[in-house]
Amino acid sequence: MHSLRARLFISILLPVLVIVPIVALAINFLLQTQVVLAGIANELIRQAVLVAEASITSVEIWQDPAQAQAFAARISPRLSAKLMLFDPQGRLVVSSDARDAQFVGKVYAMPDLQSLLAKEPRAEVRYYGTQISDVIVPVVSRDGQLVGFVWLTNPLAGLYARSELLGRITLWVSLAGVIGGLLLGLLLARDVERPLKNASRAVYQLAEGGAPPQTLREEGPGEVRLLARAFNTLLDRLHSSEELRRRQLANTVHELGRPLGALLSAIQALNSGAVKKPALRAELLQGMEREVRTLRRMLDDLARLEGNAKPLELERQPVTVAQWLPPLLAPWGEEAQRKGLRWQTHIAPDLPEAVFDPQRIGQALGNLISNAIRYTPSGGEVEVTAEAAEGSLLLRVRDSGKGIPPEELAFIFEPFYRGREVRHNSDGMGLGLTIAREIAAAHGGQLTAESTPAQGSTFTLCLPLT
């Protein structure tokens, strides 16, 4: 009873066992009482009325036993029940059954004439249990005098047998329906249970950390297929996360190795005698300090991305963008030209003063320009524009590189994410865009990206002016 199959089976079994027998009994009862009995009663009343009308035209049958016997012998073959004629006093005149000869002249209890005449049709039906026993119709002459009674007895016994057979057939059909419902319920329960059991086993294997589970077949009801699809999506993302973790470790080692290598070289130079040369010693110490700061910034970025660092601290100040931006862009312009790229800048002359942290915004903008130069082939173009619109400062970096595939565009701001085109062809940890977006968000702005494959990309840094 604790398994899903058992519970689904019981949920189907109980309604079938309760509803189907009740419906079968109700149908059987209605067939016998409302259809069979009503049809028999109407048929007998019709026959009795016809016999009564025929007997009025032959008054002598009520006075001459021989005539009565001849009338009964002539008309009884056309009837489906035993015919008996009674005089007005209730004495048996004749019966179509020869075995009733000994009862001729015996007085029987007749129904009240006035009650019969008040009915429509003028007949009394007497029941014995659930079967019709007798139908009695008065015979009244044209002048309103009671001539006698027509009595039909024990009608249509074969119909009762057939009605009982019909009832048994109904019960057997209902039983077959119950069995068929149970089998169908068992099959449905199994079909629902199997994919759920496979999904549960796969989730358990995934939680145990053993052999990686296989993707699930999407089968069964729509909800179960949706569950299998969700599990397969989760499995794909876990595989992607594992691959990302490996790339992250490799990139981290690579990025840390460069400044550490520079530090080691400087230390070796100092140990080799450079410490005795003041100018060289100062240059080496400055380089070592620069590399240590690079390492510290790298570690701070990693800690912040993992949620272990304090919120980003900003030193906001009023900035005249038209004066602040050109010196910031100059080194990038030289690097772009060294690579053989067309470098263009468009800075609106009427830019208003904005309030932000110039060092952090310079870092975010530098990350965008660095990517644009890195991923644009020689002969391409990199353009930086700055303008104000609707209370915001818009800094755009556009390149004419290969662009970003649509399926990757939604993931480029994720930490350590690197697209397929650049995964094996460039250095870096995949943190530049993530850090730039964080800086924009810390200022109350946003960083968006638009790209068309083979036509380049455009990154827009939107910052509030105040």
Encode pLDDT of 269-292 as tens digits. 888 887 788 888 888 888 788 778
Res 246: pLDDT: 74
- In this predicted structure, the answer to whether residue 28 has a pLDDT above a threshold of 80 is no
Do 4-163 and 222-305 agree at the fold level?
no
Res 1: pLDDT: 46
Residues 6+ apart with CB under 8 A from 456: 376, 380, 398, 399, 400, 401, 402, 403
Maximum alpha-carbon separation in the chain: 164
Res 119: pLDDT: 79
Tell me the per-residue pLDDT of 166-176, one tens digit each, with 9 for 90 and over.
667 767 777 77
Which residue's entry shows tokens 């039906």?
A: 125
What string of DSSP letters covers 118-182?
A: HSSSS-EEEEETTEEEEEEEEEE-TTS-EEEEEEEES--HHHHHHHHHHHHHHHHHHHHHHHHHH
- In this predicted structure, the answer to whether residue 343 has a pLDDT above a threshold of 90 is yes
* This prediction's pTM: 0.45
Element (H, E) at 355: strand 353-356
Residue 257, Cβ density class (10 Å: 0-12 exposed, 13-18 middle, ≥19 buried) = exposed
Q: 4-163 in CATH: which number? A: 3.30.450.20
Domain boundaries along the sequence of the chain: 4-163, 222-305, 317-464
Choose which CATH entry (3.40.50.720, 3.40.190.80, 3.30.565.10, 3.40.1190.20) describes domain 317-464: 3.30.565.10
Q: Which of 98-112, 129-143, 311-325, 448-462 has the highest mean pLDDT?
A: 448-462
Tell me the per-residue pLDDT of 294-319, one tens digit each, with 9 for 90 and over.
777 677 766 665 655 556 778 899 99
Query: How many CB atoms are located within 10 Å of the residue 255 CB?
Result: 18
Task: Specify the CATH architecture of the domain 222-305.
Answer: Orthogonal Bundle (1.10)
- In this predicted structure, the answer to whether residue 2 has a pLDDT above a threshold of 50 is no
Residue 83, Cβ density class (10 Å: 0-12 exposed, 13-18 middle, ≥19 buried) = buried
| Mean pLDDT of the chain, nearest integer | 79
Tell me the per-residue pLDDT of 100-127, one tens digit each, with 9 for 90 and over.
888 988 998 888 888 887 777 788 887 7
**Omega before residue 121 within 30° of 0, cis:** yes
pLDDT (mean) for 221-234: 79
3-state DSSP assignment of residue 342? strand
Res 157: pLDDT: 47
Res 106: pLDDT: 92
pLDDT (mean) for 382-390: 93
Q: CA 2 to CA 329: how far, in whole Å?
A: 70
Res 251: pLDDT: 63
Confidence class of residue 382 from pLDDT cuts 50, 70 and 90? very high
According to DSSP, the residues that pair with 353 across neighbouring strands are 320
The β-bridge relationship of strands 456-464 and 446-452 is: antiparallel
